[in-house]
Amino acid sequence: MTRRTRYSGADVSQHIYDRGNNRQRIFADEQDYAHFAAAMFRFARKFEIAIHAWALMPNHFHILLTPSKPDTLPRFMQFLKSTYTTYFNMKNKRTGTIWEQRYKQLLADDQEYILELYRYIELNPVRAHLTKGPRGFHWTSYHTNAMGVPSGGLTPHPYYLLLGTDEHERQKNYREFVRAAFGKERSFYEAQVAILKTAAASIAVYGSEEFHKKISERVTFALPHYQRLVIMTEQESG
């Protein structure tokens, strides 16, 4: 099978996703989660990659990040996955890979797309019925982005910073944005989840036509393109 080419340019925000081989658990206890999170932030600093949002689930992980230099993302992922594999195999007295395949990559632009990825990633535990609300699951960036819990490894995305003039206003507005997924924006949010689950199957672009064109000019292979759905109420549509 031909290995899919990866986009390794700089300054493009990306949703990175990977899961355990045969959907097996890769995080069995708090020690596992903590070990992966520490390695994630350590290698992000090493390769000058900004991490904006993340969620560690029992059998997979999601990271929203932006590389500052070209060709660093593949190295970051190689170091992160191989380091965790070594730890996991030693702990569980096993050998071989624990990952299903190469990581998935979704390129994104514009505030609406970036914030949708924030919400999608941090609500993973809720959709998986691990908790009733995002505050109830420890291993996501929601606690920093929405609640202000200090995190030395997290970098607010420039579009997240537009949510308010100070951190308290940004956190309040972000909490309201997340809550809207279960209220007035529920239909819209569920539509975006369906789009993002489809897009996670391969490298793809989640953004405007202009952004897709810009990225396509940098690569030599076709990129699937996904956009946010516009869902109007009967009143809005007349």
In a domain, 106, yes or no: yes
Classify residue 5: in a domain, yes or no: no
138-186 tens-digit pLDDT: 999 999 999 999 998 999 999 999 999 999 999 999 999 999 999 989 9
The predicted-structure confidence for 7-41, as pLDDT tens digits, reads as follows 888 889 999 999 999 989 999 999 999 999 999 99
% of the chain residues with pLDDT over 70: 92
pLDDT for the residue 201: 67
| Model pLDDT, residue 224 | 84
* 135 pLDDT higher than 60: yes
Q: Is residue 2 part of a domain?
A: no
Cα distances (Å, whole numbers) of residue 114 to 20, 117, 155, 204: 26, 5, 14, 14
Among 73-82, 101-110, 117-126, which is the least confidently predicted range?
101-110
Domain that holds residue 222: 13-230
Residue 152 sits in a domain of what CATH number?
Answer: 3.30.70.1290
The reported pLDDT for the residue numbered 114 is 96
In a domain, 50, yes or no: yes
Helix axes 111-122, 167-179, angle to 10 degrees: 70
* Coil vs helix vs strand at 19: strand
> How many C-beta atoms surround the C-beta of residue 193 within 10 A?
17
Residue 98 in domain: yes
Which SS3 state, helix, strand or coil, does residue 82 take? helix
